[in-house]
Amino acid sequence: MRFGGARVALDPRGRRDVGELIGDVGDPTLLVCGPERHVAESATVLGGGSRIDERLRSLDVGAWDGLAPDDVAPADLGMWFTDPTSRPHGGETVAEFVRRIHSWRASGPLPDVVVVAKPVAQALLCTDTDAYFATEVRPATVYELATPIS
């Protein structure tokens, strides 16, 4: 596992796993996706008319982009996991990120299908910032979004 990864391509296993979801998502009229390469490629595999929404970009991890957790100073990593307002990497705080994603979710009618990176899925599904790291998501999984979180 590495932080970031906006430019990483979808690998063959990912293509297969996403392809298995086609029956679960049906034939969406509107499929919206985040801007990361593997996310856009996943949307293409699912088909339908997809549109990239920059507001669904993943958490900006600043200087940690491309690093493995073992490459980060333990004190910095600990601070980031325990204080959602910290930014030891110089990027976006977890609190800012969750607010941004919840704001998108509350901004209007939800599209039929949303394809996003794992951190964005966590933010979409968590109830608040404190629940972000406790919210588990699995790759290539369909989750239903209920009424927007206020």
| Angle of CA points 54, 34, 133, to nearest 5° | 105
The answer to whether the beta carbons of residues 42 and 115 sit under 8 Å apart is yes
Percent of the chain residues past pLDDT 90, beyond the cut: 64
What whole-number distance in Å separates Cα of residue 45 and Cα of residue 110? 21
Q: 12-131: CATH homologous superfamily? A: Phosphoglycerate mutase-like (3.40.50.1240)
The answer to whether the beta carbons of residues 48 and 40 sit under 8 Å apart is no
Backbone angles phi, psi at 114, to 5 degrees: -125, 125
Q: How confident is the model at residue 144 (pLDDT cuts 50, 70, 90)?
A: confident
How is the chain split into domains, by residue range? 12-131
Q: Residue by residue, what is the 3-state secondary structure of the chain?
A: CCCCCCCCCCCHHHHHHHHCCHHHHCCCCCEEECCCHHHHHHHHHHCCCEEECHHHCCCCCHHHCCCCHHHCCHHHHHHHHHCCCCCCCCCCCHHHHHHHHHHHHHCCCCCCEEECCHHHHHHHHCCCHHHCCCCCCCCCCCCCCCCCCC
pLDDT tens string 110-139: 888 899 999 999 999 999 999 999 999 998
pLDDT tens string 46-55: 886 679 999 9
pTM of the model: 0.90
What whole-number distance in Å separates Cα of residue 64 and Cα of residue 19? 31
What average pLDDT does the segment 86-90 reach? 96
Cβ burial 123-146 (10 Å sphere, 16+ → b, else e) = bbbbeebeebeeeebeeeeeeeee
